[in-house]
Structure formats: C-alpha cells, structure tokens
Amino acid sequence: MNHDENSNHRRHPARRLLSCALASCLLLGAAPAFAQSTAATIRGQVSLDSAPAAAATVTATNLATGLTRSVQSGANGNYSVAGLPPGSYRIDVSADGKTRSQNVTVQVGQVATLDLGVGGVAETGATGPATTLDTVQVLAPTVVETKTSEVAAYVSTRQIEALPQTSRNFLAFADTVPGMRFETNPSDGSTKLQSGAQSSSNINVFIDGVGQKNYVLQGGITGQDSSRGNPFPQLAIGEYKVITSNYKAEYDQLSSAAVSAVTRSGTNEFHGSFFWDYSNTDLRATKESEKTQGQKERSKDEQYGFAFGGPIVKDVAHFFVTYEGKDYTSPKDVFPGQGYDVSELPAFLQSSVRNSTVPFHEDLYFGKIDWSINQDNLLELTVKRREEKGLGNVGDQNTESYATDTRVNETRIDLRWQLTAGDWLNDAHVTYEKAFWAMEPNSFGNGYVLTDGTSNTGNLILATGSGSGGYQDKGQDGYSFQNDLTFSGWDNHTLKMGVKYKQVKLNTLEQQPYNPQYYYDINESTEIPYYISFASGFSGTSGGQLESKSKQFGIYIQDDWQVTDRLTLNLGLRWDYEKTPSYLDAVTDPDVVAAIYSQDPNAAAGQTYADTLALGGINISDYISTGSNRKAFKDAWQPRLGFSYDLSGDERHVLFGGAGRSYDRNLFDYLALEQTKATFGSYGYQVDTALHSCTVGSGRCLAWDESLRDQATLEALVAGNSATGREVDLLANNLKVPYSDQFSIGIRDTFQMFGYDWNSSVTLQRIVSKDGFAYLLGNRLPDGSFFADGTISGSPWGYGIPGYGSLILGTNGIETRNNSLLVGLEKPYTSSSPWSLNVAYTYSDAKENRQFGEHYALDYATLADYGWFTSGGLARHRLVVSGVADGPWDTTFSGKLTLATPEYYYTTYCPNDDNTQCRIRQYHPDHALGFKQLDLAAQKVWDTGSNLKLKMRLDLLNVFNWKNFDSYSVDWDADSYTGYNQYVTRTAKLSLGLDW
C-alpha cells in the first residue's frame, strides 16, 4: 500500500458508521464466552422422507462431558449448531415424531457440513457408521471440512501423542502442514515456528481463542525468543489447526500463519496420566566436533509430568490439571572463528577452547474448570504458569565464562462465558497476562574478545572472560476483553462480529554491555587491546528502562454466505488500532537536535549536519519528534475474501481460493531503543597502537593505560558529557505497521485409493509482506554520500552527529515475496483401518530485500541499495512424511521423515581481500539435500487388569545419523565451505508412562 492509498483511507466517514454499528450490535449481546477461532460448528439440512424438514430439533451432546446444545431447523430444513468445543458428539434429530442418531467428531475451529435425514434418508457429510462411544476411546468418524476458503490443515491429538519428537513442544508437529517449518536452533536449543518467507515473529498462536502474541520480543509468541522452553504443556493441548493464509477476519496481530489450539478438559470419568522421558550421553551418537577431541561431552535430557481430570458434578462441571517439567544438560561446541586452529591462539586462551555443557530447567503448570450452568450458559476458567531458567550465550566462539543467565516467567488467566439464545451465540473472554524474559551476566568483570582486527570490533575469533550480554528484563503485563457474536438466523448466512480491547503495559530494561569488552588484534597484541566498548547510565534518567501503557483495539465483521448448495462466500473486514505512548509522546533530546543543526565539522563552513544528511537523501525533520507530531497508525483496514465451490455436489471435489490483507505490529523492543539509548549509552574508544593508529586526545582515541581496565576509569571518560560517542536512535514520525497481502487458489479432493479414503489438497499461494521494520545507518560523508569515491563498501561509521556517535534511523521497508505450491495428502486413521499417513510438500520461490531475520540494515544507505535476494529463511523444496499405525499386542508405531533442499546463505565477499570492494553474496551448498532426518517411535501398552495401564516407548531420532548443519564458512577463492552447528545426531529417548 503506497502513501497516497493510505491517505485515501482516512477520508471515509462510512467506516466510522461501520464501527459504531458493530459496537452497537456487540453491546446488544454483551455476554461473555467461548472464542470463535476454536469452537466448532455443525450445520447442514434436515430432511424428512426426502423433503426439507422445518422446525426439526437437532441436539448435539458431547459424549465426554455431557455438554448439550439444541437448535431448530428453519423453513428450508437448514440448521446450525455453533460454539461446540472440539470433540465427539451424538447428534439426535427429531422431526414429525421420527428420530435418528449419529455420532461424529468435529475439530478445532471447524465448520462441518452434516445433512441429517429421518424417515429412511441417509446422512451425508460424515464417513463410517454410527458408533457407541465411551469417554476413554473416541471412535466416532471425523467430519471432513472441505468448504473452507482458508489454506489450513489440522494436527490431531493422535499425532501429538504418537509422532516422534525431540522435545515436548506441541508446535513441533505444525510442520506436518504444507508451508510450515519448525526448527530447533542447535547452538542454543531455542525453537521457532515459521511460515513461508516471513520470520517467526509474524505468526500468532491462539489457545482457546486467546492470542499469545509477544508484543516486546521476537518469536511470535511470549517466551519463544532465545528460549529452549516450551510455550505450553503438551499434555494440556487437545488438537490444533494451522492456517497458513487467508484466515477469516477474527484473526488478528499476525501477517504469517495462525495456529488455533484447544486445551483439554475434564470429562465425566476420572482419568490421569504420568510420563517420564530420558536420554543421555550414552544414548546419542558422537557429534562431529566431539570426534576431534576424542570423547563426548556429558549431556542429559529429562522430561516428566502428569495430568489429571474428571467431574466435579457429572454432565455439569469438570476440572483438569497438568504439570510438565524438563531438565537439560546440553553440550556446546566451542571453536575458534575465522579458520584459526586452537594451536594458533595465545597459550593462556587455549585451555578455554573446549566443549562445554549448559543446564536448563522449566516448570509448566495448567489448570482448567468448566461449568455448564444450563444448556445456554457455559463458564470456563483456565490458568497457566511457566517458569524457566537456563544458561545461554555459550558455543561457537563464546567460551563458558562468557555465558549469560536467562529466565522466563509467564502467567496467563482466562475467564470466559458462552451464552446461546436461539439463533444468537455470544462468546467473551476476560484475560490477564504477565510474561517476562530476563538475562544477566553469569560472571562480572572484563570481557576478552580476540578478533582479526579488520574493524573496531573485527571478525570474532574467540570471546572469553565476562560476557557482554548485560542486564535485560523485558515483557508485557495487562488485561483484555474480547467478545464475539454470531447470528445464524438469516437464511444461508452466518454473521460473526467481534471486538477486542486490550490495555497492556510494555516494559524493557537493557543495560548492554554491562561488562566492559576489550578487543585484541591477533595480528598485533593479545595483551593490549586496540578497542574498548562499555556502557554507562546517565544520571537523572531511567538508566536504560522504558515503560509504555499500550492500548489496543480491534473490530471485525464476517459473513459466511452459502450462495447456493455449491458456492460459499466468506466476506470479512477487520480494523485494528494501537496507541503506544512511548512512541507517540516522545520528545527528541533538544541537545541532539541542536547538534544535528550545528556545523558539520567534516564539511565546509556553513554546512550543518542536517545539510549533510539532506545531501544524502535524508530529511531529518521526518525523525525529530516534538511530542505532538506523531500519530498512531489508523489505516489497518483488512479485507478478507474467500470462496469455495463444490464441483461435484457431494463435497468430494471443492475449488477454493481467497485474497486478504493482515496487519501485524512493530515490536516494542525495537521502538524502545529511541529512548533507552538516550538514558543508558554505549561507547567505543580506540586505543592508539601500531596497526590501529589514531590521534590521542582527538575524538575517541586513547593512549593505553592499565587503569583503563577499571569500570570507574571508563565512566570518568564520559562523566558530564553524555553525548560523547553515544549512539542516537531516531524513529520515523510516520511509522507504519507491517502487513501481508495473501492470495490463494486450490482444490481439495476426497477419493479412494488402494481401498482407503484419502483427502488431498493442492494450493497455489502468493504472499507479499511489506513495511517490515528496519534500522538504517544515517551517517553520511560531507558530500552526502554513503561510500567514499571508488568504493562500494565501508559504512561511514566515523561520520556521526557532531559530539555524538552514529545516527541510527528506524523506519519501514523490509519486504518479502513468496510464491509457493502447497500439496497435502492424508489417509485418516479409522477404527476399520487403524493407521494414518500424512504427506506435506512445499515448493517456495521467495525473494527478500534484506537478510532473513535481520532488522538492522547498516551496510548500505537504503534498503533499495541491497537489491533482492533469494530468501535465506526457507528451502525451495521441503517434504514431510509422517504416519502412525496400530500394531499387534497393544503396540503403536510412528515415523516422521523430513527432507529439504539447501537454503541460501549470506556472506560478504571482498575480492583480493580489498575491504573497500566488498559486496553481499549468497551461496548455495551443492549437495542435493540441505536437511534430512528420519525419526521413528514404538510404544507398547500393558493392561494391568484394572484401570491402570503401563506404557513404554522408544523414540529414535535421526535414525541414520545424517549430518545436518545450520551454518557454513565459505572460502570464495577456494570455492569451498565448511559446515558448523550440527543438528541432532542419532539419539535414543526412553519413555515410561502410566494411564488410569
């Protein structure tokens, strides 16, 4: 969307009328309840002796909890039972004194079509016979949803419980859906979920209809930024739905995939389970880095937990509680960078180059109470608590002493109330959330950083001593109210409308680097540094801390219109708004403004630094805030349109497609730097040496003295002069919000092959994301250029604001373009054929104008100067095949095969080692597969003759011990590369469990 289009959106008073109308409708049904994104709907037509049955009664009864919903069919026999928690139901239909029953299973967020007949008319829309069910094992056939315009697929409870996996992160199974990728970072164990060419920060996960969005840090959802912990106890997750594009208007705060999960509930019978997973050094293969040292480092992976639930009052109220914990001791590879061997390092550093082990512990708690007050009212209360602590920043070139301690603490409480009244269904949530991530150095003192000396901070060879991680404490704390209203009384239409208001306090504290860092050039001296970096808080300020009370508002309307028996249209419109006072009310430091409009000391007399910036294409007034010249972004209008057309009339061949826009948000961690950098400054001083000469006393140049190893001496250098060397971050006054435009066309088929029913989907998808946030280097040479004459590299770091350090400008501009082919094939599990197979293939042709996952762009003057590259964040071809099968003697076997072609990696190429002629290049490893892994699992259950069952399980990960690496070092001249950071080696994991 260009600027002119944005301007046009501001002028339509009709949108104000739409907002008022929606708000009025919502207030009419102001009763809280169950979220639309997880509740299922069963709809269809009732027939009596082949004719539509008016005023027929349709009753859905949950076979596990006794929850009951009843509706009457309309004049044309159509009915709709909405707001159903996913699960198995007995559907009873009564018309003109005749009755019939049928059992079906519906999934999370599903709109299931089920035509019901009495008087000899057969039902359609479900497969398999009606079955007598109990609350222990659900055998009812699952209704297949084909008439949705969403590009979506489901992850079932059976897949979550049976498929092999490294960790008990329920999101790990999302990559069984075409277009998705779940990855565990081998360097720190952190996990991320990604869709297409966008980063993990652009997803959102909805649990019981409540978004888990991280407003401050990366990762998409709270707690997933640089953490190896799990976001939710896996025992508490029932199933989930993954929508990669063209979701309906109820989904907010995302521009990539949406995951909608439902939690488990207690039933009318008491049931519980216990598990213990274990793996250690002896149960895994040797890593490549361990082969060179002749032994394996000690490691241990241990996970354990329990779940218990049952009735408080049968058919009325139930409870469910669960706990999961994990203890990891993981090996970390430490090796010199830039191709150096340990023997080439100074003798006093060589002993610190050894593989290390780092600990991690997590506790996850979840509790749920539901109360069916009567057939029309359902109350539900859920509570989640997460606590974790671990050691990070170890591995690669960071030694064990350089580590940081990290912590995550999260509490979420959700109260909801569902009210049904005839054709009306009202759902609402009142929620509270508090989620914080914190970090501090594992030791205090001075950091020792050995480099090749190519720049101030050089290319890293080894980092030891006290780490640079600093003190950080970042998170969100607040309340929200959301309400969804559904009306199904308009023939062939289902109208949904909703509103959400959230008030959340965003916090960030960053004092980095807390420990001074001393840089040494291996080519000159390993005893006297050539560069020193440190930080210091400014007296009378918050010292690197910022708090902002953000207000968020969203409103939407959606019409699912069944135009004919074959054609369905999904028409939706959403609008979101966010007010962040720390950005809107910020006032640029008057001293900084004065410096910008002062004489540029490197330019001719009379030329201010603002003039220099103008010569370089920067109007600095666009970044200077007066406290009243910034406005919150108001143009987040999001049309979402979709269709499905039943080609055969029996839902076996359905054409579907859609187009829509979805807005995400700017992370507070990025926005806060404008003010935190102004209260806790980071400084860099060069030391005059033979290879790094400078003029002592001029600028930031020092003669070496041993007293410089003391923090007090360093702070004295900047005392009373907070500007000296301080980086200045400024944000654009017209900052926008990232969004994506999504287009898709596809076909779903249900067919028989080899005597079994199969479901397939083939989708062409295009997603264009724009206005991603980026920080650019504002520094310019006196003539306004970014590079010196005759050069194509070498950012002008020494040409910052007079009296200050570098100028960093925050703006929008990161873009991605992804054309993809998504192919899904599924053979469902049924009681008559107790095995399932799932195939997910993704072809991606993706481009990006900045390296995947980066929000700093400091190599060129503008993002346009980077040009377009093949996206570095995803493989061109990716195939995931998974399956589960019941074996003899109460055994279950499962497997998962993942194959992907190599990704494109970024590097800097300097021909003939000329640092003035460097350019960004990409390389593509020449092996056919960049990632390949086969995981298998086998489980045996023993029935003790009572209600107690014993389970034993073996997971074998990376069965063939294939070598997979996540990064490479490239020698362009020799046309060779070396892989680093190996993913999981062959690992066995043993599990014991009890069910009762």
Tokens at 397, concatenated: 């070139």
Tell me, what's the pLDDT at 12? 41
737 vs 873, which has greater pLDDT? 737
Rounded alpha-carbon distances, angstroms, from residue 380 to 33, 388, 413, 418: 8, 27, 11, 9
Other beta carbons within 10 angstroms of residue 465's beta carbon come to: 19
C-alpha–C-alpha distance, residues 433 and 628, integer Å: 31
List, as one string, the DSSP characters of 825-874.
Answer: EEE---SSS-EEEEEEEEEEEEEESS-TT--EE-SSSSGGGG--EE-TTS
Pairing of the two strands 78-84 and 68-72: unpaired
Q: What are phi and psi of 698, to 5 degrees?
A: -105, 125
pTM of the predicted structure, to 2 decimals: 0.89
C-alpha–C-alpha distance, residues 688 and 521, integer Å: 13
Across 557-565, average pLDDT: 94
C-alpha–C-alpha distance, residues 729 and 706, integer Å: 32
Tell me, what's the pLDDT at 9? 36
Show Cβ contacts of residue 421 under 8 Å, excluding neighbours closer than 6 positions: 376
Tokens at 876, concatenated: 């061109």
Tokens at 553, concatenated: 């508002």
Q: Are 443 and 464 in contact (CB under 8 A)?
A: no
List, as one string, the DSSP characters of 327-354.
Answer: EEEEEE-B--STT--GGGS-HHHHTT-S
Q: Tens digit of pLDDT for each residue in 719-766? A: 876 677 788 999 999 999 999 999 999 999 999 999 999 999 999 999
Q: Tens digit of pLDDT for each residue in 106-133? A: 888 888 888 888 875 444 444 333 333 3
Confidence of residue 972 (pLDDT cuts 50, 70, 90): low
Other beta carbons within 10 angstroms of residue 292's beta carbon come to: 11
Show Cβ contacts of residue 564 under 8 Å, excluding neighbours closer than 6 positions: none
Point out which residues pair with 941 in neighbouring strands. Answer: 951
Pairing of the two strands 756-777 and 856-857: parallel
Tokens at 379, concatenated: 């109350």
C-alpha–C-alpha distance, residues 203 and 180, integer Å: 11
Place of tokens 């702070």: 715
- With 90 as the cut, is the pLDDT of residue 11 above it? no
C-alpha–C-alpha distance, residues 191 and 99, integer Å: 52
- With 90 as the cut, is the pLDDT of residue 965 above it? no
Least confident of 242-256, 312-326, 847-861, 973-987: 973-987
Using the Cα atoms of residue 977, residue 982, residue 983 and residue 984 in order, give the sign of their dihedral: positive
Tell me, what's the pLDDT at 355? 77
Across 196-213, average pLDDT: 95
Domain ranges of the chain: 271-995
Tokens at 414, concatenated: 């959700």
Tell me, what's the pLDDT at 134? 36
717 vs 232, which has greater pLDDT? 232
Across 540-566, average pLDDT: 92
Q: What percent of the chain has pLDDT over 70?
A: 93
Average of per-residue pLDDT values in the chain: 89
Confidence of residue 295 (pLDDT cuts 50, 70, 90): confident
- With 60 as the cut, is the pLDDT of residue 150 above it? yes
Other beta carbons within 10 angstroms of residue 946's beta carbon come to: 7
Pairing of the two strands 258-263 and 204-207: parallel
Point out which residues pair with 451 in neighbouring strands. Answer: 460, 521
Q: What are phi and psi of 665, to 5 degrees?
A: -160, 160
Tell me, what's the pLDDT at 680? 84
C-alpha–C-alpha distance, residues 972 and 921, integer Å: 10
Across 659-663, average pLDDT: 98
Tell me, what's the pLDDT at 834? 94
Confidence of residue 973 (pLDDT cuts 50, 70, 90): low
Q: Tens digit of pLDDT for each residue in 12-33? A: 444 443 344 444 443 333 333 3
Q: Structurally, what CATH architecture does the domain formed by 271-995 represent?
A: Beta Barrel (2.40)
Q: Tens digit of pLDDT for each residue in 55-100? A: 889 999 999 999 998 888 888 888 888 888 888 999 999 988 888 8
Q: Tens digit of pLDDT for each residue in 490-510? A: 888 999 999 999 999 999 998
Tell me, what's the pLDDT at 290? 77
Q: Nearest to residue 844, comparing CAs of 902, 759, 760? A: 902
**For residue 513, cis peptide bond before it (omega within 30 degrees of 0):** yes
Tell me, what's the pLDDT at 938? 97
Q: Nearest to residue 520, comparing CAs of 470, 461, 468, 467? A: 461
Tokens at 611, concatenated: 């003039």
Place of tokens 């040009």: 867
Q: Are 765 and 820 in contact (CB under 8 A)?
A: yes
Q: Tens digit of pLDDT for each residue in 780-828? A: 999 999 999 999 999 999 899 998 889 999 999 999 999 999 999 999 9
**For residue 639, cis peptide bond before it (omega within 30 degrees of 0):** no
Q: What are phi and psi of 21, to 5 degrees?
A: -65, -45
Instruction: Report residue 736 CA to chain centroid gap.
Output: 21
Pairing of the two strands 98-106 and 210-211: unpaired
C-alpha–C-alpha distance, residues 113 and 145, integer Å: 7
C-alpha–C-alpha distance, residues 194 and 213, integer Å: 14
* HSE-up of residue 378 (Cα within 13 Å, Cβ side): 26
Q: Which strands sit side by side in the sheet containing 531-537, from one edge to the other?
A: 460-465, 447-451, 517-521, 531-537, 680-687, 701-702
726 vs 989, which has greater pLDDT? 989
Q: What are phi and psi of 401, to 5 degrees?
A: -70, -20
Least confident of 187-196, 375-384, 604-613, 807-816: 187-196
Confidence of residue 976 (pLDDT cuts 50, 70, 90): low
Q: Nearest to residue 287, comparing CAs of 961, 969, 978? A: 961
Least confident of 343-347, 482-486, 644-648, 885-889: 343-347
